[in-house]
Structure 1
């Protein structure tokens, strides 16, 4: 405990020589005034404190407070109407409305998850209303008795207040956004809450005698439940609901050509990644990216990465020799061909090979990539094709390994890659800039054409007319789906867009599944790359 008290990364209050402020309530509240002043100083240093905002935003806040007394959650269109009612001149365009909503979200007046396609259409006026709904699920005795298995009837039982009517899908999505729970693989109306599950039995832990890629993350401070968040983030890769626990998860790619086991050892402050199969390297990179994104959300949480030795003795050992990643990088910079020696097997190994096996690059690799021809690609689609989008991303990673021999690197950009921030432009404008600077734009469609995906297509088309780039590819997914689940407005958006394509003489391509999509695009990719 003393380490964390003295570590500046984990101290919010750090104003004196001491790493903490002493409080002694029995001694006439000694230290209380200092703590109060420290809190005031923290508030003053917040990024929005003292920042000037348009008067119309204050008027919106007043109207929002009145609206919040009537309903806890409204559509974004309704929020837009409120803004215009406050000042039609101050909110003359969509950008003004977005900026105001982002600001009110950042100071906690409303909740608006503008970076999530499914939640951005809703504005929550009563943040407590949403938090209470989430905690009803977390704290429910029945769900805890079932070890985190949430049945479809639980939502109706717990969210029975009239204010939650018609909002179940929004609240369920919040459980996913907060990485608290996620839908079961084959029962989408039921959810899994990993934090309430049992620990992984020893019989499910992969034996150390098996051959697999390994990687270890060691933390000086590790927030509890990191692997639960990883499970939620990578839930689409969980093929069996029985393979997720409160301290571990097994994931697999679409074709089951690789598996990865991610296990948290909280008491030793480490997370281990193990991957096996034909495409083990791709899957372990996927897990590493998820773990990096989640740990980055915590201030001061920077794990040390340890790379296990891959010599004959170590690959089957439960305690292989490990090398600190930062050391391997430092050593590799000193020599053209850098090597290390294993303590166990006394075998000499190339550092570059060690790093490649677990998806890491040496500075030399990164330099090589910068010297290759970079082809910028933007992938656009609605949220309903999230799984296809992720599989397409893995496909491009594999293509990059093949294209490396030709000194070509495809830089794939997705809307998830952008940092959410309050800026002078709306986030969609940042996407549009990326579209304009891309060499290739790929758009995927299924039951609807969202307004932002349509906007990205129009931006790409206009830039192509003026500059001859980007090359545009549109793919429509063909799959059986109940007509009752499709909204008439969504069908209309698809029909209107198809007519728009026909008028341009642009013929879309139909794909039946992800494998079909990858095959068709690969054929096009081989044709287009020589022209870029």
Structure 2
């Protein structure tokens, strides 16, 4: 019943597919893929990308066009990617650490030649499939949530005046809560209150407990705090997004009763949300609690826990303050980004330094919007300058202009790091402070000199963010 079944394909498509399936390599670059298409009669780039999207949907190859990092690679052997992922998930050390691993561990896990040059892409693949996330306070450290402890950690909970919501499934697919944990990982309380079947979130001066009861086919949510409805709206929205990704998923959203008997109870009577909406739409303003027999106001039931308007979440967003470091770099310089992250890690721990780079963008997120928000929140911008950085049209068009504008308005400090010799003096970057002498780029230093340079650079970043 899928729409593409039975459709005749142009011969050029079949020839490209045969060429890709006959290639013994695990992956090729986007440029190589484009050349193969060109060789078999394709002339327009959009047609080449349309074909790779079609082959991706069929599972012939993997090409993630919605990811700026992964789009540069066409994976010819999907099982190669799957095997690489399971090398991490099945690794004894990762299992022993309950799913925690560091970027450095991947060099040992993916030590074979066929993985050696693709570790950043494979890590991104794991994040794309919601199989891992980076711990916000510890750059370079990741969690695979399906390997978390099955034991719920100890924590206190204020049971007074909670907002409660339940989701009941006719059939419950595995992985809903795992995906939810990945999506909400930045709000996990202390980054420790998370386990295989549950998580505690802290946001908007409130706390939320979200627990999956798989045998009961149910997810239960309760929220306490000052702005609990706002947090509950965010949780509901995230779960609804996940629900929509499953075709024909049947479930009920259950809303708690607020009659005198049920109010402030941890075990109130629950109404099906859709029934409440039906009552409201039919101008039936009251419904009976089946436990107390009291009549209850339908609109109040809805307003207590559900969004009152589609723009509620947008309207409750907090004002943006400039309090973080924004790192701008070329993906060709990934190894230099990793070095900077490593040297900044002690300051992130001790000074609560907030550092953002585009590896923080979760797969499927609206990346332009995320970059825009991160730029707006930046107090210090660190530019990793190299010939690849200066040659990047994306950086020149999307990242540098807002950074330079903010610097002109005195809302942001720009610090740039010379990775290698480049024509920086032909650009606006020349006007700004270099964190290291440009005539001694980092790639010209020996190991000891480079480490010392990184220490000095990080001190300058710290001074700028605290100044």
1-structure distance, mates of 2:7, 2:254: 44
Q: Deviations over 1:304-358 (max 9, x none)?
A: 111012345434322111111122122223326x123445566543211211222
Structure-2 change in CA distance of 1:118 and 1:261 (3 Å):
farther
Structure-2 change in CA distance of 1:491 and 1:46 (3 Å):
closer
Q: TM-score, normalised to structure 2's length?
A: 0.68
2-structure distance, mates of 1:485, 1:317: 58
User: Which protein, 1 or 2, shows the higher relative CO under an 8 Å CA cutoff with sep ≥ 6?
Assistant: 2
Secondary structure, aligned partner of 1:264: strand
2-structure distance, mates of 1:510, 1:315: 52
**2:21 pairs with 1:65:** yes
Displacement of 1:298: 3.0
- 1:269 corresponds to: 217
**2:300 pairs with 1:353:** yes
Displacement of 1:100: 0.8
Alignment match of 2:254 (pick from 306, 313, 318): 306
Q: TM-score, normalised to structure 1's length?
A: 0.60
2-structure distance, mates of 1:112, 1:145: 33
- 2:29 corresponds to: 75
Q: Deviations over 1:45-79 (max 9, x none)?
A: 4433331222221222233234x42x322332332
Structure 1 unaligned runs (5+)?
1-44, 370-392, 400-444, 449-455, 458-472, 514-532
**Alpha carbons 2:132, 2:142 under 8 Å: kept:** yes
Alignment match of 2:380 (pick from 455, 464, 480): 480
1-structure distance, mates of 2:411, 2:306: 30
2-structure distance, mates of 1:76, 1:360: 43
- 1:326 corresponds to: 274
Structure-2 change in CA distance of 1:104 and 1:191 (3 Å):
same
1-structure distance, mates of 2:216, 2:100: 28
**2:203 pairs with 1:243:** no
Displacement of 1:201: 2.6
**Alpha carbons 1:238, 1:251 under 8 Å: kept:** yes
Displacement of 1:286: 1.9
Secondary structure, aligned partner of 1:229: helix
Displacement of 1:479: 4.0
Displacement of 1:510: 7.9
**2:99 pairs with 1:143:** no
- 2:330 corresponds to: none
- 2:184 corresponds to: 234
- 1:215 corresponds to: 165
2-structure distance, mates of 1:148, 1:506: 40
Structure-2 change in CA distance of 1:511 and 1:282 (3 Å):
farther
**2:240 pairs with 1:295:** no
- 1:111 corresponds to: 62
1-structure distance, mates of 2:409, 2:29: 34
- 1:340 corresponds to: 287
Secondary structure, aligned partner of 1:249: strand
Structure-2 change in CA distance of 1:272 and 1:298 (3 Å):
same
Q: Deviations over 1:450-507 (max 9, x none)?
A: xxxxxx99xxxxxxxxxxxxxxx99766443554488514766544669989xxx999
- 2:315 corresponds to: 397
Alignment match of 2:50 (pick from 99, 105, 128): 99
Q: How many residues align?
A: 364
1-structure distance, mates of 2:278, 2:393: 58
**Alpha carbons 1:477, 1:511 under 8 Å: kept:** no
**Alpha carbons 1:475, 1:511 under 8 Å: kept:** no
**Alpha carbons 1:311, 1:347 under 8 Å: kept:** yes
